Structure 1
């Protein structure tokens, strides 16, 4: 981001950086205000990929799916970085375009994603399959993220949680309980309710 901001004048770069920092600090607690700061940064540096990405991420957290999708695609065109493919797919899904979300998994740059980001993309695409009623296909997509409980891959806690949730939805409660428990074992801080859901099924 610093390298990209060097393309701006120093005074402008400092102002833009300030808005980006504020957006980053607020994105979880007050996404609407975060988006306002991101917009302010874009007004001063619309050709900077990191700025467009910040707008896209803030818009995503604010539930502004169309804007998020547009900004994240623009950021990718500028930078060539595919790291937001999962967010792009999730925006398509949120806009009711599950089939478009599925196509993201065929993007030529999926192989460039780090394992945890790839796992997030699998989760989004599996959720889109579920939206379409394609349950077996959804489970198959999640399985690509790794189902070896003795050798969990990055992102396994969330992958297994979603896998368990789908199993429970189709009445395979015993299997669901096992996968919720496996997810909980990888989530000692209790970021999800996997442990409670496993217990409820036992």
Structure 2
């Protein structure tokens, strides 16, 4: 079965999409960040969630930027003149922002996220942080409302990398592939690093361009990813190969990541599942059953439907 991105069910465990929740992290989520770029592909709010990545949206590691927002600004440089109607447009956008609960504690966000927002005025920084908090909180249960909050944060802080990242991950979760690509590219330009590659490649699949996802796997940036980021990107590329009706190529893609029947852990469970899926698509049913069984054994978080797939093949 192909693991093409599922626009109707953003949490489908059978898909080849990176299982991360990217964007700003709440303080107690810092050990489960999903694809942030320089951390774990790190994206998932789990990345920030990121590489993060890992954003969902990424375990371990501190979020760091190659360049902090505003770090290269000179006090002698003047801002570009604002275009006509800019102020009115900004006010209109703020009037349509989603409501914010009164009891939000912005200090539940990662302190490094709050540090990035200090380039803004205090009132604006507080509002951006609250919208980012709501985006992170609603990502799983109401991705459309999460995206509205993320857009509000981006509109208020468009030159802050974490705000663009939040918008990108939220758009990805809501199935807005084109918007997600645009925002994540902007975040990467601002912060540097190879982050978000798996999410961005998966957006290319969602846009019906699996060949572009495959091209990303051949890039120099792909070689900079850590183990987890490389696995997440490999899973997406294998899915792109299945989209292109190339199951044997999908198998080879995942073999390069050295799947191991003695492995444990979340990322290896996902790799084993994707490998089993590619084997099944290639008609190698006995091998697929072995790997689905392994994925089921080590899936401690019960995120995958490996047992169901195994039953289907028996």
TM-score > 0.5 by shorter chain: yes
* 1: CA distance, partners of 2:308 / 2:204: 31
Q: Distance in 2 between matches of 1:153 and 1:125?
A: 21
1:62, distance to aligned residue in structure 2 (A): 0.6
Unaligned runs of 5+ in 2: 1-112
Corresponding position of 2:174: 62
Contiguous gaps of at least 5 residues in structure 1? none
Any idea what the Cα deviations from partners look like across 1:40-93, whole Å, max 9, x if unmatched?
111110001100010000000111111011111111111113221100000011
Deviations 1:6-29 (A, max 9, x none): 111121111100000000000111
Q: More relative contact order in 1 or in 2 (CA 8 Å, sep 6+)?
A: 2
Equivalents in 1 of 2:283, 2:214: separation in Å? Answer: 25
Does the alignment pair 1:197 with 2:314?
no
Helix, strand or coil for the counterpart of 1:188?
coil
Of 295, 299, 302, which residue of structure 2 is paired with 1:187?
299
Aligned with residue 211 of structure 2, among 99, 122, 126: 99
Q: Deviations over 1:166-191 (max 9, x none)?
A: 22223322111100011111113422
Q: Do structure 1's residue 119 and structure 2's residue 243 form an aligned pair?
A: no
Map 1:76-95 onto structure 2 (within 5 A): 76-95=188-207
Aligned length: 202
Write the deviation string for residues 103-129 of structure 1: whole angstroms up to 9, x where unpaired.
111232223323222211000011111
Higher helix share: 1
Matches of 2:191 and 2:282 in 1, distance apart? 42
What do you get for the CA RMSD once the two structures are aligned?
Answer: 1.6
TM-score (norm. length: structure 2): 0.61
Q: For the residues of structure 1 that align with 2:301 and 2:264, how far apart are their CA atoms?
A: 17
**Among residues 133, 136, 146, which one is paired with 1:34 in the alignment?**
146
Given the alignment, which residue of 147, 151, 157 partners 2:269? 157
C-alpha distance in structure 2 between counterparts of 1:11 and 1:80, whole Å: 28
